[in-house]
Amino acid sequence: MELESKLELVCRGALEIVTPEELAEKIKKDDKTAYIGFEPSGKIHLGHAITIRKMMDLQEAGFKVKILLADLHAYLNGKGSLEEIKEVSDYNIRCFRALGLSEDTVFVLGSTFQTKEDYTYKVYELALATTLARAKRSMAQITRESKDHKVAEVIYPLMQVVDMMFLETDLALGGMEQRKIHMLARENLPKMGYEAPVCLHTPLLHGTDGSEKMSSSKGNFIAIDDSPEAIKDKIKKSYCPMGRVEGNPIIEIAEHFIFTESDTLLIERPDKFGGNLELTQEQLKDSYEKEKLHPLDLKNAVARELTKIFKVVREYLKDN
């Protein structure tokens, strides 16, 4: 694959790349590593699937993919005992493989290196160089909104930065909520003698309740291994206001999962309601915005196609 084709593949669907010039240089390297970290704390849902699909693009572009199952991060965030978190980590790995990551994907459990002496010293070194205000700005949105902060919440972003160092990261991938931590890494890793990673940010998927982010802890998610019945039920109950495209999770699901696999979406309707429609992505948005398409008809079509798309995931998890 030529450089331009690789760049196009990696950049496809990204909201931001810091920086495109550095990315072009990284892609030219023979050995290059892309990293993403996940807190093993619940079901793998459509929000996770967006980043995993981008990791698959990076694999196709020649990156070695390392996925951190951040068990100690989850522990610091109060997501259960280490034993419980380990069980969720094993489930996560199966889900990520079911989504299509190649066999040479490297899965790393955080506790296999985050308790070592040299790692701890690097966290201390970074702590000395980071103000409390800067660390607090790097916290995840849900933590920043809590009323009674714990010291662990400040350690959390520092560990994420040192993770990138220990996993020899050329490119760090995450949703836009990871941006502040990624910028903390770009600011401080060069001061510690390590090259700053390129940072690639993907869109956040709104929750089925219309909230800012799909999250297993909020219960506003569609899991990649949900049954056809569960998918249909969750889509039916989802926030999907008539005429509104922006911030509409059903429109977003169509954009990120259906139109990436097909040029059109078939809307099945009785003749008395106008009959069937076959719409491109732009036609779908235009029709919905002009209120020419009813939310229920859109939901039925999205539920049908989403069920088909994730059939392979359900079958893989059943057999593995």
Is 76 a domain residue?
Answer: yes
- pLDDT tens profile 167-223: 999 999 999 989 999 999 999 999 999 999 999 999 999 999 999 999 988 999 999
The Cα angle at residue 199 between residues 198 and 202, in degrees rounded to 5:
145
Tokens, residue 29: 């390297």
Task: Work out the end-to-end distance of the chain between its first and last CA atoms, rounded to an integer number of angstroms.
Answer: 33
pLDDT in tens, 248-259: 999 999 999 999
In this prediction, residue 52 carries a pLDDT of 97
Q: How many CB atoms lie within 10 A of CB 312?
A: 12
Q: How many domains does the chain have?
A: 2
Residue 141's pLDDT is 46
Q: Do residues 236 and 183 both lie within one domain?
A: no
Domain co-membership, 151 together with 32: yes
* Per-residue pLDDT, 149: 72
Q: Are 194 and 148 contained in the same domain? A: yes
3-state helix, strand and coil shares in percent for the chain, rounded to the nearest 5? 55, 10, 35
φ and ψ at residue 221, rounded to 5 degrees: -130, 160
Task: Report pLDDT for 1.
Answer: 79
pLDDT in tens, 11-35: 999 999 999 999 999 999 999 999 9
Q: Residue 224: pLDDT band by 50, 70, 90 thresholds?
A: very high
Inside any domain, residue 161 = yes
The 10s digit of each residue's pLDDT in 127-170 is: 999 988 888 777 754 454 556 777 877 888 899 999 999 999 99
The pLDDT, as a whole number, for residue 135 is 81
Q: Give a yes or no: residue 222 inside a domain.
A: no
Tell me, what's the pLDDT at 305?
Answer: 98
In single-letter form, the type of residue at position 21 comes to E
What values do phi and psi take at 20, rounded to 5?
-60, -35
Do 59 and 190 belong together in one domain? yes
User: Within this chain, do residues 194 and 237 fall inside the same structural domain, yes or no?
Assistant: no
Say what the pLDDT of residue 213 is.
93
Within a domain: residue 214?
A: no
pTM (predicted TM-score): 0.92
Residue 36 pLDDT > 50, yes or no?
yes
32 and 84 co-located in one domain: yes
Q: Give the tens place of pLDDT for each residue, 37-85.
A: 999 988 999 999 999 999 999 999 999 999 999 999 899 888 899 999 9
Residues 99 and 174 in one domain: yes
Is residue 193 domain-shared with residue 235, that is, in the same domain? no
pLDDT at 76 (0 to 100): 83
In a domain, 215, yes or no: no
**Which range marks the domain in which residue 8 is found?**
3-202
What is the structure's pLDDT at 246?
A: 96
User: Which of 135, 133, 106, 108 is closest to 119 using CA atoms?
Assistant: 108
Q: CA-to-CA distance for 44 and 88, rounded, in angstroms?
A: 10
Mean of the pLDDT values across residues 227-233?
98
Check whether residue 65 and residue 197 sit in a common domain.
Answer: yes
Q: What is the CATH number of the domain that holds 13?
A: 3.40.50.620
Give the Cα separation of 277 and 41 in Å (integer). 40
